[in-house]
Structure 1
């Protein structure tokens, strides 16, 4: 089973996205902020991290940089999620180390395609 770590500070977004992905057969873990996301990435080593960019004091860019800087977690694919669809945000997310970028509200088929692409195989 593919384990996803969702780093999202909004409880409604966490709940809705988590339930939608669980129905698709994913195991889900949640982090409510950047520091918790960095710690959980190391503790559970998920298959993919869905990283909200607009977090509190440690935003998703910084959390991504920290995850990618750690040898134990550097190989975990990270997909940035943000309500901002500007190309500059995509560029900044990729520069921080994200493997892909998607916008909110989440288009589930598109996000599933991106998850498949970063893990390198089709989802069952």
Structure 2
């Protein structure tokens, strides 16, 4: 059975890239374009992993990570943050919010896939 990955990304090209990459590696994906829907989608989809953009309109990816990690049904789900914020302080903040891994944009395809596999 394919591992399930929820992809939260507002940029349509990045969302397509992440989902296509994951599907090419035989993961089942559920795209989420609006971060305000992420927690409800995660509860309904039961992902094995969440790939989360940090810079989202309407809601911060950091806030979403904290919400997911405080949700009893979702708190054990690993989260991989994918963001253009690439400084050391940014990574520390993202990990402090609860992210299990961090990949900076623009992504390296090999590193992205390696991180996904390491989390699963």
Q: TM-score, normalised by structure 2?
A: 0.94
How much is the aligned-residue C-alpha RMSD, in angstroms?
A: 1.0
CA distance in 2, matches of 1:5, 1:35: 14
Runs of 4+ in structure 1 deviating by more than 3 angstroms, as ranges, are none
CA distance in 1, matches of 2:35, 2:60: 6
Unaligned runs of 5+ in 2: none
The match for 2:18 is: 17
- Superposed CA deviations along residues 24-52 of structure 1, whole A, max 9, x for unmatched, are 11111011122211111111110110000
Per mean C-alpha deviation after superposition, the further-off stretch among 31-40 and 4-13 is: 31-40
Deviation of 1:21 after TM superposition, in Å, equals 1.7
CA distance in 2, matches of 1:17, 1:115: 11
The match for 1:32 is: 33
Unaligned runs of 5+ in 1: 120-124
Q: Judge conservation of contact 2:9–2:34 (CA < 8 Å) in 1.
A: yes
The match for 2:82 is: 81
SS of the residue aligned with 1:55?
Answer: coil
Q: TM-score, normalised by structure 1?
A: 0.91
The match for 1:49 is: 50
